[in-house]
Amino acid sequence: MSIDAREAASALSDIETIAQRVRQSRFYNFASLMLILWGVLIFFGNVASHFWPPLAGYIWIAVNAVGIAGSFAIGAFDYKRMGVRSFDLRMVAAYVLFLAFGALWSIGLGHFTPRQLGVFWPTYFMMVYTIVGLWIGPAFVAIGLGITGLTLFGYAFIGPWFELWMALVNGGGLLLGGLWMRRN
């Protein structure tokens, strides 16, 4: 049995399509674990910041520290399971640079109020989700744009309940996005 060039090209195209879907599925699986972790942490960070505003800075330092440690743990679990390193020191370096750049503008140069910081950081992170989604998949674009839009709505209309709104919108949005990716 032999196949002609057209059939071979079609078979290779099918194989490439399946390989792309597997790569996206593996990435979505890893990303879903990260989104669930960070969604839960951000939810509790916003709730704690609402009830203990003087401690908000310390709360967010703790949230980020636990998040990075948890991200390493998920990366180690994923490496053990799949044999591919998905979270390494380059990811930590990227995260630290991203935070440093955000801190430079939001705290160093911008002198934002606490409420403005509550809008800046989620929209800053969601910009990355949206841009990454242009290459990785539409789920990231939907999460990024959805959370950004709801954050801006909350900033304009929610008033003194903004931190609780952000717990639901940002933390809950990441958590729901992670669960949605689990089924894809």
Task: Encode burial over 37-66: b for 16+ CB neighbours within 10 A, e otherwise.
Answer: bbbbbbbbbbbbbbeeeeebeebbeebbeb
Domain around 124:
5-182
Over the stretch 15-35, which tens digit does the pLDDT of each residue have? 776 666 655 566 677 788 888
Helices 5-51, 138-157: crossing angle, 10 deg rounding: 30
What global pTM score does this model have? 0.78
Number of domains in the chain: 1
- Computed over every residue of the chain, the mean pLDDT equals 84
- 114-149, pLDDT tens digit by residue? 889 889 999 998 998 899 889 877 888 988 999 999
